[in-house]
Amino acid sequence: MRDVHDRLLADEVEARFGTRIASSRPLHGGMIGEVLRLDLDDGTRLVAKLDREGSANLEREGYMLGYLRERSNLPVPEVFYSSGELLLMEFVEGESAFSRAAERHAAELLAELHSVEADAFGLERDTLIGSLHQPNPPSASWLEFFRDNRLLYLADVAHEAGRLPAELRKRVEALSGKLDGLVEEPERPALIHGDVWSQNVLARGDRVTAFIDPAIYNAHPEMELAYISLFNSFGEEFFRRYGELRPLPDEFFTERRHLYALYPLLVHVYFFGGGYVGAVERTLARFGV
């Protein structure tokens, strides 16, 4: 199968760029596919993702990057080709290390992204988080969307995978029945990147150069911020600048960031199990279930 995928890569590069691959080397990537830096004979540099196992659905990643590029000003790599097995995109210089100024720039970029509004929560099609299916049926209610398509959906998926104990799954259900007093409906659904951990952001000096590996949908912007807070993607400078542009209520920091963090925690339970199960249990206990 390796020869088949390598031939697909070589053929698509030659068809689209009229030149051949001079060299390739592995890049540190996310959870989707094998990631390569390609240097072409004419000096062009690309990033290629290959799915040799048939589980990554790279076409959806290409769709998400294209959607962000068309609908927002968030810097993302240009996609040159995408299919289920292969994604070819622009190579962007940068590292996942952030100065205080770069954190402020990230806050400005995400605050602008969150100003891209929609008529409903969800999206026009389902997306991915990592390699996991992410359902996005349109909904007029943020509470219902978050409950049904994030908390309950992921609890079921993680339980069926054998990584979330039945007792914790029942406790997620119990919390889902209490959301009325915990969740606020935003004025409008907002577009979010959906997977902003440090390795999915690149910067050079004091500027962010790209956000990669998105998991997009229209949501409450606090979902994005809860994810960032959970994984310490950025520090206090980010939240200070974001709050200047889009003020955050105290309840986000005291309560809702922990509630919304349950979704990425359940995603990580599905993929990794282990200590993330304990983090889910502690979060549920925080909300009295």
pTM above 0.75, yes or no: yes
Q: Pick from 90, 109, 125: which residue ends a domain?
A: 90
pLDDT > 70? residue 2 = no
Residue 179 covered by a domain: yes
Residue 66 covered by a domain: yes
Is the same domain home to 127 and 42?
no
pLDDT > 80? residue 66 = yes
Is the same domain home to 16 and 111?
no
Residue 27 covered by a domain: yes
Is the same domain home to 33 and 162?
no
Is the same domain home to 119 and 256?
yes
Half-sphere exposure of 17 (CA within 13 A, CB side): 24
Residue 35 covered by a domain: yes
Is the same domain home to 15 and 119?
no
Question: What pLDDT is recorded for position 6?
Answer: 85
Residue 95 covered by a domain: no
Question: What pLDDT is recorded for position 7?
Answer: 87
Of 52 and 38, more confident: 38
Tokens matching residue 166: 């039945």
The residue length of the chain stands at: 289
Out of 80-84, 115-119, 230-234, 258-262, pick the least confident. Answer: 80-84
Is the same domain home to 65 and 190?
no
CATH number at residue 132: 3.90.1200.10
- For the chain, what percent of residues have pLDDT higher than 70? 97
pLDDT > 70? residue 259 = yes
Residue 41 covered by a domain: yes
Is the same domain home to 111 and 204?
yes
Is the same domain home to 200 and 254?
yes
Average pLDDT over residues 32-61: 89
Instruction: Tell me the chain's radius of gyration from C-alpha atoms.
Output: 20
Q: How many domains does the chain have?
A: 2
Is the same domain home to 105 and 44?
no
Strand spans (E) along the chain: 21-26, 34-40, 45-50, 79-82, 86-90, 127-129, 132-134, 190-192, 201-204, 207-211, 217-219
Out of 43-57, 78-92, 228-242, pick the least confident. Answer: 43-57
Is the same domain home to 199 and 121?
yes
Question: What pLDDT is recorded for position 134?
Answer: 98
Q: Which domain holds residue 71?
A: 2-90
Longest dimension (CA), the chain: 61
CATH number at residue 54: 3.30.200.20
Question: What pLDDT is recorded for position 160?
Answer: 98
Out of 49-58, 148-157, 241-250, pick the least confident. Answer: 49-58
Question: What pLDDT is recorded for position 222?
Answer: 98
Question: What pLDDT is recorded for position 1?
Answer: 41
How many CB atoms within 10 Å of residue 95?
A: 12
- For the chain, what percent of residues have pLDDT higher than 90? 90
Q: Pick from 90, 124, 141: which residue ends a domain?
A: 90
Half-sphere exposure of 202 (CA within 13 A, CB side): 15
Average pLDDT over residues 113-130: 97
Do the Cβ atoms of 45 and 91 come closer than 8 Å?
yes
Residue 244 covered by a domain: yes
Average pLDDT over residues 52-79: 92
What is the helix (H) or strand (E) element at residue 75, kind and residue range?
Answer: none
pLDDT > 90? residue 49 = yes
Q: Pick from 68, 90, 112: which residue ends a domain?
A: 90
Question: What pLDDT is recorded for position 102?
Answer: 98
Average pLDDT over residues 120-125: 98
For the packed helices 152-160 and 262-272, what is the interaxial angle rounded to 10 degrees? 10
Is the same domain home to 178 and 139?
yes
Q: What is the pLDDT of residues 164-199, one digit of tens each?
A: 999 999 999 999 999 999 999 999 999 999 999 999
Average pLDDT over residues 264-274: 96
Is the same domain home to 59 and 106?
no
